[in-house]
Amino acid sequence: MGFIGKGLFEGMVVTARNFVGSYFDKERLVTVQYPEERVQVPENSRTFPFLVFDKDSDPVASMRCVACKICEVECPPQCIYIVMDRDEKGKPQQRPKVFDIDISVCMQCQICVEVCPFDAIKMDNNYEKSQYGRFDELVEHLPELLKSNEFYNKIKPTEATAVDAKLKADAEKKAKKAAPAAKPAATAAKPAAPAAPKPAPVAAPTAKIAIPDDAPFTPEQRQWLSGYLSTVAASGVAPAAAAPVAGTPAAPATEAPAGNWPWHDPGLGMQRRLDLAKETPIADKLMAAMAQTDCHACGYDCRGYADAIATGAETDLSLCLPGEAETANMLKKLMQEAGKL
């Protein structure tokens, strides 16, 4: 039976029951004396992202992030900013030099966590982030973002245990894959072998051969040719059997020497990279179309993925996540132009 103010009366009864009950039952005391007391937040609560590292002794070297920028690209409000680290020669390192997250923009959606192929970024549950300033104070930089795997296990034990198990299984799989390659060496090391003729001493690596500035080549061709001749001289392979100089006539096409890939720079745009690989074999052109981050999101490094596509061992052209649709489309175009698709 209803009467006017019934709901209000029922509400007051609940309040009164809790008020009186709180003198007898601690469970009914729901007020938390913050900041002296803090509630334990549930494991699946989330606030802002942090970066995981594995070794307390060297957080920077052991961080899982390889600066592939997938999270930067995928973040809906674009609040992540990453710059890849480089060594003194300008060679890209597989870690960020700058990793900033603007937490005044972050909408805590966790998409960065979902897309990271390396379990390098996770959601924190620290809600005490208030600041007096509104600008740089609300941008978190690499040193603040780095937190240990131990911390991750502490705040999210269930999730972190599953991630640890997955990473361990991946590492074991990788080690197993690498094992057959080591076998022949071990067999070769067995004693029993009859006295074989002494192998010729291996030539010491020769000095880098430099092509003179007035030689009739473009700077890229000069750089390529220097690397090529240095490699040939060091390996003792007759030049006639090896790769051609980009842009020079009549030599059979083979890949550029390992490491001598002027397009292998994530700072260059797609068109520039393709221009640098213009006169090279299809595998190099395919490599130039990759994002050049060597992030292994595709299951290879950039060189490996390009070679696998060129040889037909890999048919999926959409595996370069940081390169997104631009890379996938270009790989398709290059394969079509080469008559391989």
**Which residues sit at the interface with ligand SF4, rule CB under 6 A?**
49, 65-71, 75-77, 79-80, 82, 101, 106-112, 115-116, 118, 120-121
Question: Smallest gap, in angstroms, from Cβ of residue 69 to ligand SF4?
Answer: 5
Dist CA 231 CA 228 (whole Å): 5
Residue 239 CB neighbours (<10 A) = 13
Give the residue from 174, 117, 121, 145 showing the smallest Cα distance to 291: 117
Least distance CB 142 / ligand SF4 (angstroms): 11
Between 115 and 328, CB nearer to ligand SF4: 115
**Cα 16 to Cα 126: distance, rounded to the nearest angstrom:** 34
Of residues 75 and 310, the one with the C-beta less far from ligand SF4: 75
Instruction: Tell me whether residue 103 or residue 209 sits nearer to ligand SF4 (CB atom).
Output: 103
Rounded to an integer, what distance in angstroms lies between the CA atom of residue 194 and that of residue 203?
25
Nearer to ligand SF4, 228 or 300 (CB): 300
Q: Which H or E element spans position 86?
A: strand 80-86
Nearest distance in Å: CB 181, ligand SF4 = 27
Q: Provide the pairing of β-strand 146-148 with 49-53.
A: parallel
| Residue 329 structure tokens | 């489309």
Q: Which is nearer to ligand SF4, 106 or 229 (CB)?
A: 106
Q: What is the nearest approach in angstroms of ligand SF4 to the Cβ of residue 294?
A: 12
Closer residue to ligand SF4 in complex, CB, 106/155: 106
Residue 136, SS3 per DSSP: helix
Residue written as token pair 């003179």: 212
* CB of residue 306 to ligand SF4, shortest distance in Å: 20
* Secondary structure (DSSP) of 181-237: HHHHHHHHT-TT---PPPPPPPPPPPPPP---TTSSS-HHHHHHHHHHHHHHHHHT-
In the complex, the smallest distance separating the C-beta of residue 264 from ligand SF4, rounded to whole angstroms, is 18
Distance from C-alpha of 99 to C-alpha of 81, rounded to nearest angstrom? 6
